[in-house]
């Protein structure tokens, strides 16, 4: 029996590797590859899956690990950092999507309970997918990136509450008694767990953390033990896994635990999505094709519009920030699939509805991926049409701390390389402007009386607003090729004699930048080798000279550390 399951799982994983490899090549999230793999290995095609009960158990473990890690990253301190925009946008978008989605779904003749499940599923967006896409674009620290992550966390909170209610309703508890029971038992359990987490767990984890293997074993055990206790008292395993994670979030080793648990979570979730794909019924999909198309369009277009309206009209953000943040909700979440899967499990909806939601998930995840990847190009084409959503007057994200019409030098990007460049500009005593996409950086620079402006170098409207006709030098510390190509072309079209220095990590990219008119291309890795070779030639075997360089370097590093800079552990080339 064990051997046959092993062979079956091996075949499934081999096919998943091949299909997911194709999906990865198409720059799509891997979740699409997992679901498509499930379709291929399921009864509709190859019919490889025979050990369904085993895979169902693996899937449940995957959901438990997912909620455990969500809890692990929901440190109570993060609530303060979410802020007003994330709360208003997150709650508002979920409410509007659920309400409007419910009315649309009812038009297709679905029952109230089915319409409710579908509308809830359409309301949640994928934190995992968005975090990955924002990270790849290096937009995590941008204003729209921070707001997006904030309201996605709010969505996660709402999704968790929905999951807990659905999973507990299978015990036949009425809504009133369920609420009372959760209030009383929940408060008691949370108090005990919180006290244990504050006064006992830190000591335990401090001792255990001396062994990385033991730390992993304890984390997995803690997740299973708390989940089992909750199940014993007729609560859901999912609720126990979530609270197990929240208690460990207070530990100073929560990031290490999260890093070690991630491969386990990913493996078991892969099985969940494969099983989900294998259970898709395409006969019902063909029957409901119009519903799938319209609901997918509602998610791809309607959800971003809801966020844009909330951010532009209610919160007074610029149309660009609102547009980019809106695109991050143009897909449904893994939580959406889990919510409907739980609904099927407790008998609220049929498996056909799960197939419908999965199809919507495949379409919206694939579509939103390209929307986010090419968001800047989309914005430049749609900018004039979305102006109707922008309120007149000063915007909350217009961090402009400058009073000059033109500058001799404009620096795009402050962190890392820009820090040293700024020091040189101060010594030159020239008029210069710093442009950065991180609002915190702009605020800190303004406190030091530097002329600075919030904005993104690939925003054509920003580049048009900057008067560079009399500027003598533009320096970009941004390493993205497309951004630098746009910047060089735009600046060169306004000023033929200007000096343009940009950053690149590839030789071929550097050649392209020189071809379009860059004056000098900074290549940090090569410059590092050049710098140490110069030190060796200059200082030779003089330890005193090297120690002098060391003290200078330490002073620079301490200053950077004070300002919160960090050297990248690894660059994506």
CATH number at residue 470: 3.40.50.720
State whether residue 315 is helix, strand or coil: coil
Residues 452, 371 share a domain: no
The last residue of one of the domains, among 388, 413, 441, is 388
Residues 230, 114 share a domain: yes
pLDDT for the residue numbered 534: 77
pLDDT for the residue numbered 395: 66
Closest by CA position to 234, among listed 183, 173, 159, 161: 173
Please check whether residue 546 lies inside any domain of the structure: no
Residues 443, 408 share a domain: yes
CB within 8 Å of 530: residues ≥ 6 apart:
none
- Looking at the predicted structure, is the pLDDT value of residue 561 above 80? no
Residues 377, 404 share a domain: no
Tally of domains within the chain = 2
Copy the structure tokens of residue 200: 């006992």
| Residue entry with tokens 């802020």 | 83
Please check whether residue 59 lies inside any domain of the structure: yes
- Under 8 Å between Cβ of 409 and 424: no
- Under 8 Å between Cβ of 504 and 481: yes
Residues 510, 379 share a domain: no
- Looking at the predicted structure, is the pLDDT value of residue 102 above 90? yes
Which of 2-6, 342-346, 481-485 is least confident? 2-6
pLDDT for the residue numbered 393: 62
The average pLDDT across 497-504 equals 90
Please check whether residue 527 lies inside any domain of the structure: no
The average pLDDT across 381-407 equals 72
In our burial notation (b when 16+ CB lie closer than 10 A, e otherwise), range 164-186 reads bbbbbbeeeeeeeebeebbeeee
Residues 472, 375 share a domain: no
Which of 68-82, 90-104, 415-429, 552-566 is least confident? 68-82
Residues 467, 376 share a domain: no
Which of 14-18, 346-350, 404-408, 435-439 is least confident? 404-408
Look up the domain containing 55 and give its range: 2-388
- Looking at the predicted structure, is the pLDDT value of residue 214 above 70? yes
Please check whether residue 500 lies inside any domain of the structure: yes
Residues 295, 423 share a domain: no
Copy the structure tokens of residue 301: 């277009």
pLDDT grade for 169, boundaries at 50, 70 and 90: low
The last residue of one of the domains, among 477, 501, 522, is 522
State whether residue 125 is helix, strand or coil: coil
pLDDT for the residue numbered 573: 29
CATH number at residue 73: 1.20.1530.20
Please check whether residue 550 lies inside any domain of the structure: no
Please check whether residue 536 lies inside any domain of the structure: no
The average confidence (pLDDT) of the chain is 81
Residues 356, 461 share a domain: no
Residues 458, 345 share a domain: no
pLDDT grade for 303, boundaries at 50, 70 and 90: very high
CB within 8 Å of 312: residues ≥ 6 apart:
318, 319, 322, 389, 390, 391
Query: pLDDT tens digit string along 439-462?
Result: 778 877 887 888 888 888 888 778
The average pLDDT across 469-484 equals 87
Please check whether residue 394 lies inside any domain of the structure: no
Residues of the chain with pLDDT > 70, as a percent, come to 86
Please check whether residue 232 lies inside any domain of the structure: yes
pLDDT grade for 571, boundaries at 50, 70 and 90: very low
Question: What sign does the CA torsion over 385, 388, 393, 396 have?
Answer: negative
- Looking at the predicted structure, is the pLDDT value of residue 76 above 60? no
- Looking at the predicted structure, is the pLDDT value of residue 378 above 60? yes
Query: pLDDT tens digit string along 174-194?
Result: 444 554 555 555 566 667 777
Quote the CA–CA distance of 86 and 299 in Å, as a whole number.
Answer: 19
- Looking at the predicted structure, is the pLDDT value of residue 361 above 60? yes
Per the confidence metrics, is the pTM higher than 0.75?
Answer: no
Determine the distance from the C-alpha atom of residue 110 to the mean position of all C-alpha atoms in its chain, rounded to a whole number.
33
Query: pLDDT tens digit string along 118-150?
Result: 999 999 988 777 877 787 777 777 788 888 878
Residues 438, 318 share a domain: no
Residues 456, 333 share a domain: no
pLDDT for the residue numbered 572: 34
The average pLDDT across 60-68 equals 83
The last residue of one of the domains, among 522, 541, 566, is 522
């Amino acid at each position: 029996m064990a051997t046959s399951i092993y062979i079956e799982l091996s075949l499934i994983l081999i096919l998943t590797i091949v299909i997911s490899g194709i999906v990865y090549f198409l720059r799509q999230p891997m979740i699409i590859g997992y679901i498509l793999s499930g379709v291929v290995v399921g009864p509709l095609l190859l019919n490889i899956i025979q050990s369904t009960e085993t895979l169902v158990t693996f899937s449940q473990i995957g959901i438990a690990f997912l909620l455990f890690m969500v809890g692990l990253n929901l440190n109570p301190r993060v609530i303060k950092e979410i802020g007003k925009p994330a709360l208003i946008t997150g709650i508002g978008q979920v409410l509007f999507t659920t309400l409007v989605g419910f009315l649309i779904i009812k038009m297709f003749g679905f029952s109230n309970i089915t319409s409710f499940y579908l509308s809830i599923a359409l309301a949640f967006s994928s934190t995992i997918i968005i975090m990955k896409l924002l990270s790849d674009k290096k937009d995590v620290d941008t204003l729209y990136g921070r707001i997006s992550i904030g309201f996605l966390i709010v969505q996660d909170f709402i999704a968790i509450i929905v999951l807990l209610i659905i999973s507990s309703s299978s015990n036949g508890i009425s809504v009133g008694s369920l609420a009372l029971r959760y209030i009383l038992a929940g408060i008691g359990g949370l108090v005990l767990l919180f006290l244990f987490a504050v006064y006992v767990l830190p000591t335990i984890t401090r001792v255990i953390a001396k062994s990385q293997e033991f730390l992993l074993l304890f984390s997995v055990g803690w997740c299973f033990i708390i989940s089992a206790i909750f199940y014993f008292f007729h609560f859901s395993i999912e609720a126990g896994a979530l609270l197990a994670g929240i208690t460990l979030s207070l530990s100073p080793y929560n990031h290490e635990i999260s890093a070690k648990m991630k491969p386990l979570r990913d493996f078991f979730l892969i099985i969940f999505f494969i099983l989900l794909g294998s259970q898709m019924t395409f006969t019902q999909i063909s029957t409901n094709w119009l519903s799938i198309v319209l609901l997918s369009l509602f998610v791809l277009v309607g959800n971003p519009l809801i966020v844009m309206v909330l951010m532009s009209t209610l919160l007074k953000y610029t149309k660009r920030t609102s547009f980019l943040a809106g695109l991050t909700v143009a897909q449904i979440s893994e939580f959406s699939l889990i919510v409907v899967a739980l609904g099927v499990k407790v008998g609220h909806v049929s498996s056909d509805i799960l197939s419908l939601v999965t199809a919507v998930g495949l379409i919206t995840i694939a579509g939103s991926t390209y929307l986010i990847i090419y968001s800047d190009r989309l914005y430049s084409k749609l900018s004039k049409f979305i102006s109707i959503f922008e309120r007149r007057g000063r915007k909350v994200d217009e961090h402009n701390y400058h009073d000059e019409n033109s500058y001799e030098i404009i620096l795009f990007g402050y962190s890392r390389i820009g820090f040293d460049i700024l020091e040189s500009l101060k010594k030159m005593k020239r008029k210069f402007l710093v442009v950065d996409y991180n609002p915190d950086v702009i605020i800190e620079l303004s406190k030091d009386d530097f002329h600075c402006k919030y904005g993104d170098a690939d925003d054509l409207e920003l580049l048009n607003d900057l008067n560079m006709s009399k500027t003598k030098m533009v320096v970009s510390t941004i390493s993205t090729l497309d951004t630098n190509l746009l910047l060089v072309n735009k600046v060169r079209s306004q000023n033929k004699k200007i000096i343009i220095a940009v950053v690149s990590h590839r030789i071929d990219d550097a050649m392209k930048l020189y071809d379009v008119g860059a004056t000098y291309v900074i290549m940090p890795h090569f410059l590092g080798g050049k710098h140490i070779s110069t030190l060796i030639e200059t200082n030779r075997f003089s330890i005193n000279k090297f120690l002098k360089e060391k003290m200078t370097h330490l002073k620079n590093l301490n200053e950077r550390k004070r300002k919160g800079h960090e050297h990248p552990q690894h660059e994506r080339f």
